Amino acid sequence: MATLATSESNFSDLVTDLVLRRSEEILAANYVHLGTGAGFQRATIIKGTNLLRFPAIAQLAAATTALTEGTAPTANTLAIVVDTATATQIGATIEITDLAVLQSPHELFAVAADIISDNAAKTRDVLVREILGAGTSVKYVTQTARSAIATSNIITGAQVKRMESLLEANDVRKFSDGFFRSIIHPHAVYDLQTDTANGGWMDVWKYTNNAPLLANELGRFAGVRFMLSTNAKVFSTAGASSANVYSTIFFGPDAYGVSDMQGIRTYYVAPGGDHSDPLAQKGLVGWKSAFACLLLDAQGSKYLRLEHGTTNG
């Protein structure tokens, strides 16, 4: 009977396909910065470079000058604005020796495929989080600077309403479902949900419509749908008395752009795959991608970052 060996090309294809599918599943389910409902914009790749381009056309100002009888008004021109970013190649590998495979009670290559898949999804999610955490459209709970934020400066229902009204005032449009989005840390969720004065929080299980849920969606409040993320940006010990400062992001469609100049590519290298492993003592599972993200601010920011403390530190 024929036996499938790890040295055969079909085994390599099987492992790499598993890593790719698992990374996509994990990204969609657990990492909300690039998950369902984030509403980011895809970039146009500038051929021959590592630059990614996000073009947009600026809106016209209100026409408030009266027309002169018989005279055509001065024609407007379309003002094209562009945000650009540079793609960076990233990746990781896991190495497994032949003895580890022989002695382990686990299917180590299957375990490695799952771990490397999570790493691919997590890495991209964190890169987007860092871009959002570096943006300048920021507000603070009862303070005027990050360094003044104390653990008592927690997020409340009133602060959510404040963010919603500021986005509205900045002409940031809502998503097609009539809501803004928010990415929130579990510690911040605790404070928001235990705010007895907020009056109106609705858990997802109470929704009466059949609209698809967002990635890790918890509920909605004051025109905002909240997505839970343990990867939400935390500025460690950056507040008053070394308090951790948490970020809750509020945004509308196309607040930020991402692009895969090189999508996630996955690899399995069998033991003995090259001259650096002449005795076939180790195998590799890995991934790489050329990826970029940036805030789309050329026409004005479409997001707000609320910085605050939390009861749970």
Give the residue carrying structure tokens 């790493």: 119
Residue 223: predicted pLDDT: 93
Which DSSP letter does residue 304 get?
Answer: E
Q: What is the pLDDT of residues 23-34, one digit of tens each?
A: 666 655 568 888
Residue 106 neighbours by CB distance under 10 Å: 10
Residue 72 has pLDDT above 70, yes or no: yes
- When pLDDT is cut at 50, 70 and 90, the band that residue 84 belongs to is confident
Distance CA 23, CA 29 (A): 10
In 3D, which of 175, 170, 155, 178 has the Cα closest to residue 232? 155
DSSP string, 178-231: S-EEEEE-HHHHHHHHT-TT----EEGGG--S-PPPPTTEEEEETTEEEEE-TT
Residue type, 36: T
State mean pLDDT over 208-233. 89
> Which tens digit of pLDDT belongs to each residue from 100-123?
777 777 777 778 888 888 898 889
Domains assigned to the chain: 9-55+83-131+256-295 (3.30.2400), 137-255+299-308 (3.30.2320)
Match 């650009």 to its residue by tokens: 84
Can you give the pLDDT at residue 131?
92
Question: pLDDT value at position 282?
Answer: 87
Q: How far apart are CA 305 and CA 209, in angstroms?
A: 29
Name the residue with higher pLDDT: 199 or 139: 139
Tell me the pLDDT tens digit for each residue of 274-306: 778 888 888 888 889 888 888 888 778 899 999
pLDDT over threshold 70, residue 22: no
- Please list the residues that pair with 154 across neighbouring strands: 309
pLDDT score of 261: 75
Strands 256-269 and 41-42, bridge-based pairing: parallel
Residue 1 reports pLDDT greater than 70: no
pLDDT given for residue 2 in this prediction: 40
d(C-alpha 184, C-alpha 305), whole Å: 10
Among all chains, which residue has been given the structure tokens 């294809």?
A: 13
How does DSSP assign 60-78, residue by residue? Answer: PPP--SPPPTT-PPPPP--
Instruction: Tell me the residue length of the chain.
Output: 313
What mean pLDDT comes out for the span 131-160?
A: 95
Confidence label for 168 from pLDDT (cuts 50, 70 and 90): very high
Which tokens sit at 219? 């509920």
Indicate whether 5 pLDDT > 50: no
How far apart are alpha carbons 103 and 121 in whole angstroms? 30
292: closest CA among 261, 250, 267, 268? 261
| pLDDT given for residue 146 in this prediction | 97
Structure tokens belonging to residue 91: 């990746």
Query: pLDDT above 70 covers what percent of the chain?
Result: 89
At a CB cut-off of 8 Å and minimum separation 6, what does 306 contact?
138, 139, 140, 141, 155, 159, 163, 247, 248, 249, 250
Phi/psi at 169 (5° precision) = -65, -25
Question: Average pLDDT, stretch 30-49?
Answer: 76
- What mean pLDDT is predicted for residues 81-91? 83
Q: Is the pLDDT of residue 137 over 90?
A: yes
The answer to whether the CB of 96 falls within 8 A of the CB of 5 is no
Tokens of 59: 């809106």
Report the percentage of the chain scoring pLDDT > 90: 39
* Mean pLDDT value across residues 132-152: 96
